[in-house]
C-alpha cells in the first residue's frame, strides 16, 4: 500500500528544480526525503541513507541529516507542504455540507524534555504533548488543520478554523468543549449553523440567543440526531490510526513544536493520499 500512496504523494510535490535558488537540493528533494521518513515511521536520518530507498524511487542525491533539518525550518518548504495539502483536497472533491470540529491529543512521555510539549487535558486525565485540531467534513476529509501545544484552549484554536471553513460547509457540529459566545458569533458571521452541547448545561438570560436555542434543541429528537453526527470525526481519527502508515502516537525522535507539527501535517497528507487511493481503485473496478 505504501508504494501506491507514495506515487500519489509524488504527484503533489513541486517540479524538479522548482525554486532551487542558491541551494544544491531543490525543495522537491527535501520534501521527498522528509515525507519518505514520515511514510515509513522512521527518523529523518534514516531517509538520508541511500540503502533505505529502492533504486527506482531514490532521488539522484540525498542530503545529509543536518542539511535536511536546516532546510526543513525554512518557510518555503512548509509552504510547499501546505500547497500539497490543498492540491490533494482539490482532487478529493468539494467540501460537503456537514462537518465536525474536534482536537486529537498527541502525547509525549512523562519524562520527555520537550519544553514545547505542555500539559493539558487528554483522554482520561492530563498529559503532555500537542493537539491536532481538525475540521473534518462528512466525507472524512480534513478541511482545516492546526497543531498547537496541549495547553492551548480548544475554543481559541477553533476560531480561525471555523472562520475559514470552505464555503460549501453550512453546518458544523462539536462537543460542549466548543460552546462559547465567540465561536457562535463567528459561525453566525460566516453563515454556518454551529451545533454544540451546552457547557455545564446552563444558559444565562443575557447569553447569545443561539446558545438558548441550542439548549432547547438538545431536548428534541431532531437535535439529538444533529448532535450525534459529531461521532463521525471520532471515526476519522480512528481511521487515521488504523492504516499502517497513519497518525499514531509521536515517535521518540519527533520532539519540539516544529517537528511535531510537520509530522502531524505530513501524516494528514498521507491519510488524504489513502482516501484518494481508495477512490481510484473503486473507479477502476467500476470501469
Nearest one of 231, 234, 215 to 223, comparing CA atoms: 215
DSSP 177-193: GG--HHHHHHHHHHT-E
Instruction: Kindly state the greatest CA–CA separation across the chain.
Output: 69
Query: Averaged over 261-284, what is the pLDDT?
Result: 91
pLDDT in tens, 198-255: 665 556 555 566 666 665 566 666 556 666 666 778 888 888 888 888 888 888 888 8
**pLDDT value of position 31:** 92
Query: Averaged over 127-150, what is the pLDDT?
Result: 92
**pLDDT value of position 216:** 58
All structural domains of the chain, each given as residue ranges with its CATH number in brackets, are: 2-92+249-286 (no CATH), 98-238 (3.30.420)
Task: With residue 239 as reference, give the H or E element that holds it.
Answer: helix 231-242
**pLDDT value of position 217:** 61
Query: Averaged over 27-38, what is the pLDDT?
Result: 92
Amino acid at each position: 500500500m505504501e508504494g501506491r500512496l507514495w506515487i500519489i504523494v509524488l504527484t503533489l510535490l513541486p517540479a524538479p528544480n522548482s525554486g532551487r535558488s542558491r541551494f544544491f537540493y531543490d525543495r522537491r528533494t527535501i520534501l521527498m526525503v522528509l515525507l519518505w521518513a514520515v511514510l515509513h515511521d522512521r527518523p529523518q536520518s534514516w531517509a538520508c541513507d541511500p540503502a533505505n530507498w529502492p533504486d527506482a524511487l531514490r532521488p539522484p542525491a540525498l542530503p545529509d541529516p543536518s542539511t535536511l533539518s536546516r532546510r526543513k525550518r525554512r518557510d518555503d518548504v512548509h509552504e510547499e507542504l501546505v500547497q500539497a495539502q490543498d492540491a490533494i483536497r482539490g482532487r478529493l472533491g468539494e467540501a460537503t455540507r456537514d462537518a465536525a470540529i474536534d482536537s486529537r491529543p498527541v502525547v509525549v512521555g512523562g519524562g520527555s524534555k520537550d519544553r514545547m510539549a505542555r500539559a493539558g487535558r487528554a483522554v482520561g486525565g492530563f498529559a503532555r504533548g500537542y493537539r491536532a485540531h481538525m475540521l473534518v467534513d462528512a466525507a472524512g476529509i480534513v478541511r482545516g488543520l492546526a497543531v498547537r501545544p496541549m495547553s492551548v484552549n480548544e475554543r481559541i484554536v477553533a476560531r480561525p478554523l471555523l472562520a475559514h471553513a470552505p464555503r460549501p460547509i453550512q453546518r458544523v457540529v462539536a462537543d460542549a468543549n466548543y460552546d462559547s459566545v465567540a465561536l457562535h458569533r463567528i459561525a453566525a458571521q460566516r453563515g454556518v449553523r454551529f451545533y454544540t452541547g451546552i457547557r455545564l448545561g446552563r444558559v444565562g438570560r443575557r447569553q447569545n440567543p443561539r446558545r438558548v436555542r441550542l439548549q432547547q434543541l438538545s431536548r428534541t429528537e431532531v437535535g439529538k440526531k444533529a448532535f450525534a453526527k459529531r461521532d463521525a470525526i471520532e471515526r476519522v481519527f480512528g481511521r487515521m490510526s488504523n492504516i499502517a502508515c497513519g497518525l499514531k502516537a509521536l515517535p521518540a525522535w519527533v520532539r519540539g513544536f516544529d517537528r511535531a507539527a510537520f509530522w502531524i501535517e505530513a501524516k494528514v497528507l498521507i491519510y488524504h493520499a489513502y482516501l484518494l487511493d481508495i477512490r481510484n481503485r473503486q473507479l477502476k473496478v467500476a470501469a
